[in-house]
Structure 1
């Protein structure tokens, strides 16, 4: 698996990984009911297949869980990630 520096930008409600001039992102939304929805994951073509989406999802889910948020995913990738994590 790829290792990379996952960064969090709370003001933009996103996690990202920058490699050269490319940026992979996982975006989320928060509501007033202590709920976090992971709504979008994007990995540029040049970064795909290297584990970046999984790194983003791992960091984002870990952060949201530590914050005590209820988690949902309208993003298909994070939905799959959460389902697989629950099955382990």
Structure 2
């Protein structure tokens, strides 16, 4: 399933607006200029196992690539995703 994901820069997160006011999110910090540290991923229980976390992570990594950011994967879900998708490993700081 494809989810609409928006980048909310003021909250430093990528957000999927879901039913019943729920949200999935990939949060980040900016510890340095041109570096994004993906700190955590959250998916409501009813949406787990449906690819939402992967879509959030892919969106965040695509944003990093398009904007010439390096990535720190503090979040274990992001770490696992990058290991499973070696095409993203060049983004790691």
The two structures share one fold, judged by TM-score above 0.5: yes
TM normalised by structure 2 equals 0.86
How many aligned residue pairs are there?
Answer: 87
**How far does residue 87 in structure 1 lie from its aligned partner after superposition?**
6.3
Structure with the bigger percentage of helix: 2
Q: 1:61 to 1:87 in 2, by over 3 A?
A: closer
- Root mean square deviation, CA, Å: 1.5
**How far does residue 33 in structure 1 lie from its aligned partner after superposition?**
3.4
2:11 aligns with: 12
Listed one character per residue, the Cα deviations across residues 12-44 of structure 1 (whole Å, up to 9, x for unaligned) are: 110011111211100011123321110000001
2:46 aligns with: 46
Distance 2:23 2:70 in 1: 27
Matched, 1:31 2:10: no
Q: Show structure 2 runs of 5+ residues with no match.
A: 89-93
Q: Which structure 1 residue ranges, 4+ long, deviate > 3 Å from structure 2?
A: none
Q: Show structure 1 runs of 5+ residues with no match.
A: none
1:66 aligns with: 66
TM normalised by structure 1 equals 0.91
